A and B are shown apart, each in its own frame.
Chain A
């Protein structure tokens, strides 16, 4: 949509910008909670160990580390009983055959029970948080109120709808600050060694949340890139520096291309995994100035830090201090998981202000939500932003009022892309090097790093035991 708006040269009205920012802010609040509790927590939290916890001691731990609105020995006893009933039924459902009891789990039973309780609370909270999307966006998932030129939800700009949105964003933020972040810090304090595992070298963010018509200058989460972990050397990123490489991907051979001239020609065959120098991925390999870059929460937080954004610097510095880890710990699996929580705090704290800006604008009599536009005979445009998983770019070329070429480079393509023709590793490949593995047949540690990127796909990781040379295939879901 931003790519088409760029191509046709339409500027969206202020109300449309604010509503899009609010919808997108809600997406961050929602998705990061779901990622932490439901897609990542069980890599760190042993649910079965929670059955051994003392509910009283769990209540004390919870009072000590968290401001959660639920607690007390009875509460944790009920949660434990619910889990016990579930386990006793013999139907373990999604917890079947997992890694319970694995030596890489180090949380005490009480911390596991606390996290398990919040896993369940977060399941409910996320369903309520998703209502923010429905208020101005029709439904969640797959919003349906965004059109080239603005937004369609003009009838929803009423006091009751806006107040409801404000209430839910605050309710969600209360969970983020009083439960999610304390849980994150509590878990991280037991896994500080993961502050030296799973890091990448280069980072890139397109940035997101325009605060006025000036992009990228006004972006709340700034645009930029960092090479070789040089935070002080953060520079502005430009879309013309992007190329995509297919030498190791299941596409017909071709030179690296900028997305405007990019081609997507999948091999006309049953693609097979080819080791050695062969093709092994459906992902193309995106590069910035020829280099692989990690995108996502950590990249955004590092770019914001490097850009001198005060809210982010304060959050990052205080978190490093609380955990007693050096700044280098940011470049890691732990740093990535922590950055996701910290940016959620910053974005969620800004959202009520955006709601009030919308209210003030409406009060001043500006009810415009859409700017009309004409499709040109030809043209091209780019739309850059950052979504919860990372940097997203769309490129369109228009000819005879129709799409001539359309390419997008999405976050998981950046993070999970394969090697390029020079043999440079993709970010997840790079991050996995040196991961300690206690049991190659059950490599829980690999899941921690891969899941920390919040990949939008299933992928395969092949673990080779250096002693026996036995190859283990791990499917990461």
Chain B
């Protein structure tokens, strides 16, 4: 084992994470990306010793920063490893120390230095009405910024439902003419939708890129198939209750306590493509249906309009 790798495992152990735990995580991540187990050591290598940390430019448009918050909850790798040892986050308004002109300078310097080489992560929708006037950073519209920076990236990841499809601000009547990045720029983007998306799907996409030098296979909505290939319904641990006509009809009922199917309370699991039931959230702690709440379809396009009213049967 070379020095960098050894030091990496030593650091992990100091944090109470054994090499075995770490390999387990890599196995899990490899499997969730749909890669064979022969890739596990390579996935581990990506975390242990990147030769040069790939530069990331993270743009915030119309959003709530919940997607960034979700990435902060990443475990194995923890966010400090993502930021200090795996990626080079050149621009991210929430976590960077600089502000104002200094932040702007950092953005432009990074884009110039790494043109054609950086990963652009976009969080948030883009206003298009009134020349994009409803959304600006430093006097420039989101639309101008996206048109300037996105074409210079090696790859662009639209992270979260807002960047992928417009999100809540694009819901009717959509006063600012908000759109997802792809629709606003007329390009195809890699979309990791969800409100928020699961950080493991972001990490999986990035690892895929670092490992294989290309983005993962996508469906026709630009979503990585390893995460969005099946419906919630098809992977739901409550599926047998659906098949047996065992439904919850009121929250707090006996049927709710028995963990019956939430279809009649408006669950959108049958129409929603995501891997929530498999990977769950916050280190596998839970996910909406496990917490007794119907899926609201938050990773589907225009879900605010198409999936609501949320508590009515489809």
Contacts and interface: CB of A to CB of B under 8 A. Distances in A.
A123 B79 contact: yes
A276 to B, nearest CB: 18
Contact of B287 (A138, A266, A443): A138
A63 interface: no
A95 interface: yes
A371 B251 CA distance: 8
B288 A94 contact: no
Interface in A361-403: 367-372
B69 interface: yes
Contact of B66 (A130, A142, A477): A142
Nearest to A15: B252
B31 interface: no
B72 A34 contact: yes
B115 interface: no
A94 B95 contact: yes
B218 interface: no
Given A89-B53, A134-B285, A135-B285, A474 B99 contact: yes
B286 A139 contact: yes
B211 interface: no
A139 B288 contact: yes
B282 A93 contact: no
Given A141-B196, A370-B252, A135 B286 contact: yes
Contact of A94 (B74, B92, B196): B92
A134 B282 contact: yes
A152 B90 contact: no
B288 A99 contact: no
A91 B54 CA distance: 10
A139 B96 contact: no
B137 A475 contact: yes
Nearest to A139: B281
A434 B292 CA distance: 52
Interface residues of A, number: 70
Contacts of A97: 98, 102-103, 105-106, 109
Contact of B290 (A93, A138, A140, A447): A138
A472 B109 CA distance: 20
B217 to A, nearest CB: 26
B213 interface: no
Interface in B8-65: 11, 14-15, 52-53, 55, 60, 64-65
A97 B99 CA distance: 9
B149 interface: no
B282 A442 contact: no
A409 B195 CA distance: 23
Interface stretch (A215-223, A252-260, A267-275, A339-347): A267-275
A73 interface: no
A23 to B, nearest CB: 11
Contacts of B53: 89, 91, 93
Contacts of A367: 257
Interface string A173-207: 00000000000000000000000000000000000
Contacts of A150: 251-252
B151 to A, nearest CB: 23
A262 to B, nearest CB: 16
Interface centre among A120, A152, A371, A447 (most CB of B within 10 A): A152
Interface string A137-162: 11111101101011011111000000
Contacts of A138: 281, 286-288, 290-291, 293
B183 interface: no
B282 A152 contact: no
Interface in A241-257: none
Nearest to B198: A139
A96 B104 contact: no
A124 B98 contact: no
Nearest to B78: A124
B83 interface: yes
A442 B99 CA distance: 9
Interface residues of B, number: 75
A136 B280 CA distance: 14
Contacts of A89: 53, 88
Interface in B111-155: 130-134, 137-139
A78 B88 contact: no
Contacts of B70: 141
A456 B130 CA distance: 25
B296 interface: yes
Interface in B161-209: 175-176, 195-196
A370 B255 CA distance: 13
Contact of A123 (B80, B195, B250): B80
Interface string B248-278: 0011100011010000000000000000000
B97 A156 contact: no
B246 interface: no
B286 A98 contact: no
A202 B93 CA distance: 30
A368 B252 contact: yes
B99 A270 contact: no
Nearest to A270: B133
Contacts of A96: 90, 96, 98, 106, 109-110
A99 B80 contact: no
A369 B287 CA distance: 18
Contact of A86 (B84, B280, B293, B311): B84
Interface centre among B83, B110, B281 (most CB of A within 10 A): B281
30 contacts: A91-B90, A98-B96, A99-B97, A99-B102, A128-B283, A130-B73, A130-B282, A131-B285, A134-B281, A136-B291, A139-B285, A139-B287, A140-B69, A140-B73, A141-B69, A141-B70, A141-B73, A145-B292, A147-B311, A150-B251, A153-B292, A153-B293, A156-B290, A266-B175, A266-B176, A270-B130, A270-B133, A370-B256, A456-B64, A473-B100
Q: Which 5 A-B pairs have the closest CB atoms?
A: A370-B252, A270-B133, A134-B285, A139-B281, A152-B292
Interface of B: 11, 14-15, 52-53, 55, 60, 64-66, 69-70, 72-75, 78-80, 83-85, 87-90, 92-106, 109-110, 130-134, 137-139, 175-176, 195-196, 250-252, 256-257, 259, 280-283, 285-288, 290-293, 296, 311
